[in-house]
Amino acid sequence: MSYSAEYEPEALADLERLTQIVRERVIIKIAWLAKNFDQITPQALTADLSGFFKLRVGDYRVIY
């Protein structure tokens, strides 16, 4: 099964602040996540962000 990703307006604004190379890496990794979601074990966040998960992209974390 394949999933799709939707970006919140705040996420789009955050992407704009990144360099083009980093932005492309993040977008590619999110697309990879949507395609391979059934094959991974999501890394859950805790405390204030419980219920969300993280995806590492270099020095950055994508929260979903």
- For residue 40, being part of any structural domain is answered with yes
Check if the beta carbon of residue 3 is closer than 8 Å to that of residue 37: yes
- For residue 4, being part of any structural domain is answered with no
How sure is the predictor about 2, in pLDDT bands with cuts at 50, 70 and 90?
confident
The pTM (predicted TM-score) of the whole model is 0.87
Domain that holds residue 50: 9-63
3-state percent helix, strand, coil for the chain, nearest multiple of 5: 50, 15, 35
- For residue 2, being part of any structural domain is answered with no
- For residue 1, being part of any structural domain is answered with no
- For residue 26, being part of any structural domain is answered with yes
- For residue 21, being part of any structural domain is answered with yes
- For residue 3, being part of any structural domain is answered with no
How sure is the predictor about 20, in pLDDT bands with cuts at 50, 70 and 90?
very high
pLDDT score recorded for residue 29: 97
- For residue 51, being part of any structural domain is answered with yes
> Domains in the chain: how many in total?
1
pLDDT tens, residue by residue, 39-51:
999 999 999 999 9
